[in-house]
Structure 1
Amino acid sequence: MGPSDDRMIGFPPTAETLVDLAGWQDAPNVRWAFRHMRELLPTHVIPAGPDHRPLTTALDPAVGATPVTRLDGAVTRADGVFADTWTDALIVLHDGVVAEERYYAGMTANTPHLLMSVSKSIVGCVAGILADRGSLDPEAPVTSYVPEVAGTGYGDATVRHLLDMRTGVAFRETYQALDSEVRVMERSMGWRPRRDGDPVGMYEYLTTLGTATPHGGPFTYRSADTDMLGWVCERSAGTRMAELVSHLLWIPLGAEQDADITCDPVGSAVHDGGISATARDVARFGQLLLENDGRIVPKRWLADSWHPGADVRAAFAGTDNEAVLPGGWYRNQFWFVPNARGTALVCLGIHGQMLYVNPATRLVGVKLSSWPDPQNPAYLIDTLRAFGAIGAQLSG
């Protein structure tokens, strides 16, 4: 695992080390790219406020030494799991206190890192706050906010379908297939070089999607659903996403550093995965979810997420996700993963981004990574097991 400074060497950078729009999501460029999104793509700033929430630190060597049984059956230490899974930043909070904080390969506490689909959970919280304030109705048709999608795949969907990724829109989240809808959407939103005929901008792309199955069926992970949700949020509030995240979450939770979100060629935010932030501020967001005091994110929104109806679990149980996260569910842009140490709320992003929140063990874990491949089930499960074991160890 090479350091991030082996990319973009020279003035200008050499051809061998150049990171550009065509290759920033590919190994060996991922580690550098995820820390330098502002140099690759246009972004909107998500301002932090003048006051930040202090993080008390009491490092505990028991964290790294915690035994973990990997997916392959081998028993190792937690620090071995993190070292072997391309970790860039690691923070563990227990009872709100920093019990572990490490940075790898040149990353620092002040380095913003791309969160990929952890961004979805932030957007989901924005939707929850707007719903609590009465400006967004989760049961309303999408077209009541965005009439432009009438007659498209989203024409008969509700906001609730978006929140739980249970639309029937024709959209394949197949990262290795360059012709899949997720890759076409990336070209439209400026994350990859545009091709002739591609829509210009993410919202224009969303209006081209058709229908594959009836809405309200099985859970199917579709990043497009979150982008549609972000569009709905912006329309309902009359404000763009960067300002919504700043005023509804980032400033109230006491974030220490500005975050940012990439935007497409016409200036629309990339809601499904475009936020970059420091690990410490992601930890603050996780602690907010753990405390669940209703001060920022409504209690009933999180209660609905933790305790959904049986249909939500059934929508998950009949999919391929059940084999990886047995007994889990997806609600309001959060994953939920039950195990013997209590159900964890988990925010996930490709290439190894994770926020882990377990009220039973009072643990918040943040792992920002640069896996060479978008998805790796063994890395995912080993990380979940590590955080679960650490929580059990620290909570006794």
Structure 2
Amino acid sequence: MKRLIAAALAAGSLVAGSSAAQVALKPETPNLLFWSAEQQARWYPAMETVYQTRPIAAGDRVHALPLSGRTLDPVFTHAGRTWTVDEYMATYRVSGLLVIRDGRVLLEKYGLGRRPQDRWTSFSVAKSVTAILVGAAIQDGRIKSLQTPVTDILPELRGSAYDGVTLRQLLMMSSGVRWSEDYSDPNSDVAKGPTEGVKLAQGQPGLNPVVAYMRTLPRAHAPGTKFNYNTGETDLVGILLARAVGMGLADYASEKIWKPYGMEMEGAWVTDPGGLERGGCCISMTLRDYGRVGQFVLDEGVIDGHPVLPPGWALEATSKQIENGQAGYGYFWWMQPNGAYQATGIFGQSITTFREDRIIIVVNSAWPKSGGPDLRDGRTALINALRQAAIAPAP
């Protein structure tokens, strides 16, 4: 288990979920972890044609992202060679690259045949959006606080290892409940959980398969003491949130962010076998709408002077709350050694924010594998170069 966690941390994030965690529209759909390059380029922009999804409705207004009047074209070194932005995008299969500073676009580029109106899947970037919505639910009074026991909202978990676990501990990946996220092991929780959950939920109307499986797990550590990346638990937070607000996450995201903040296009959110949006995976949105998510958090969740999030929530969620063997972890947000906070998804999805510089860098990719130091380090070199170019005096 220690080896698994170390490898996953080195990759920057773990796999978003097994193929059985979402419902394919066609039974012959291959495991999304092993799609070919051609399948990635075709299906990442069109997940709603592959899996069951729910729409995130947009409104009439669009949050403006005006051009800054200057462009970025840094040259940087990585892996013993010099790179241009275009060379990086071609080599690392980047479909979208966006740099925003002070709400203005400094760079916007597309690859792999993607167009500005095309969406792209988020993988685990969805976790960070789920955390935003938890904050909105607290602001709305639909969740009392982060100290709310999980079993208060999901009483189906009473008598399980989740007794005494708080919502905050779930958001920190520190419930203490045993979980294995090893995709090479068919007996790991992340591999067998979705299928086993469906079996356990049969004959129990209203019981979500994720809840059915998670409540069978034993406790490994005292709650709040140890970080352990757990995609099943992020889906559990999504179920808890939907229960608290009385609607699906797609509808709540539309109500709290998409419509009032001004996303330019409808989003799509993949659902689990129980028909609920996955708190841990797979929202589809345009490149600029990824940038708007980053800007919304950077602006602390305030829309037209109206706070969508509790005071201080955005800062707290995107600051280190627990040690994780790297720079730290917040509430479904990763801290980075370069001082940024980041929403991260496998196969090269990220929203990186430098708070003090008010810079947001979005990268959407179709990496040939889910992650790894080589891929992560290349992206970090690109991001650092873009940041330096953005803060340099204009010519």
Bin of the TM-score, shorter chain as denominator length: 0.7 to 0.9
Is contact 2:319–2:335 with CA below 8 Å preserved after alignment?
Answer: no
Deviation at 1:299, TM superposition (A): 3.9
Alignment partners' CA distance in 1, 2:69 and 2:27 = 36
Gap change, CA 1:179 and 1:69, over 3 Å in 2: farther
Does 2:317 correspond to 1:305?
yes
Partner SS state of residue 88, structure 1: strand
Matched residue pairs, number? Answer: 355
Is contact 2:124–2:344 with CA below 8 Å preserved after alignment?
Answer: yes
Gap change, CA 1:351 and 1:45, over 3 Å in 2: same
Partner SS state of residue 364, structure 2: strand
Matched with 2:237 is 229
Deviation at 1:254, TM superposition (A): 0.6
Partner SS state of residue 252, structure 2: helix
Matched with 2:267 is 259
Alignment partners' CA distance in 2, 1:236 and 1:198 = 21
Q: What residue identity is the alignment partner of 2:44?
A: F
Gap change, CA 1:27 and 1:43, over 3 Å in 2: closer
1:237-276 equivalences under 5 Å are 237-276=245-284
Does 2:125 correspond to 1:131?
no
* Identical positions, percent: 25
Is contact 1:146–1:232 with CA below 8 Å preserved after alignment?
Answer: yes
Gap change, CA 1:166 and 1:114, over 3 Å in 2: same
Alignment partners' CA distance in 2, 1:150 and 1:355 = 36
Q: Any stretches of 5+ residues in structure 1 without a counterpart?
A: 1-17, 323-327
Is contact 2:89–2:111 with CA below 8 Å preserved after alignment?
Answer: no
Partner SS state of residue 35, structure 1: helix
Alignment partners' CA distance in 1, 2:40 and 2:195 = 18
Alignment partners' CA distance in 1, 2:336 and 2:288 = 23
Is contact 2:298–2:314 with CA below 8 Å preserved after alignment?
Answer: no
1:336-384 deviation line (CA, Å, top 9, x unaligned): 1142xxx212000011110011123321111111112112222222212
Does 2:63 correspond to 1:53?
yes
Alignment partners' CA distance in 1, 2:86 and 2:267 = 28
1:351-370 equivalences under 5 Å are 351-370=347-366
Alignment partners' CA distance in 1, 2:33 and 2:301 = 38
Point out the more displaced range, 167-176 or 36-45: 167-176
Gap change, CA 1:392 and 1:291, over 3 Å in 2: farther
Deviation at 1:162, TM superposition (A): 0.6
Partner SS state of residue 273, structure 1: coil
Partner SS state of residue 343, structure 2: strand
Partner SS state of residue 280, structure 2: coil
Alignment partners' CA distance in 2, 1:69 and 1:132 = 45
Matched with 1:383 is 379
Gap change, CA 1:25 and 1:186, over 3 Å in 2: farther
Partner SS state of residue 98, structure 1: strand
Matched with 1:346 is 342
Give every structure 1 segment of 4 or more consecutive aligned residues whose post-TM-superposition deviation is greater than 6 Å.
196-200
Partner SS state of residue 331, structure 1: coil
Deviation at 1:50, TM superposition (A): 1.3
Q: Any stretches of 5+ residues in structure 2 without a counterpart?
A: 1-25, 203-207
Could you tell me which of 81, 85, 88 is aligned with 1:74?
81
1:286-334 deviation line (CA, Å, top 9, x unaligned): 11222336333334102223455xxx34x32xx3xx2xxxxx1111111
Matched with 1:218 is 226
Does 2:115 correspond to 1:108?
yes
Point out the more displaced range, 19-28 or 101-110: 19-28
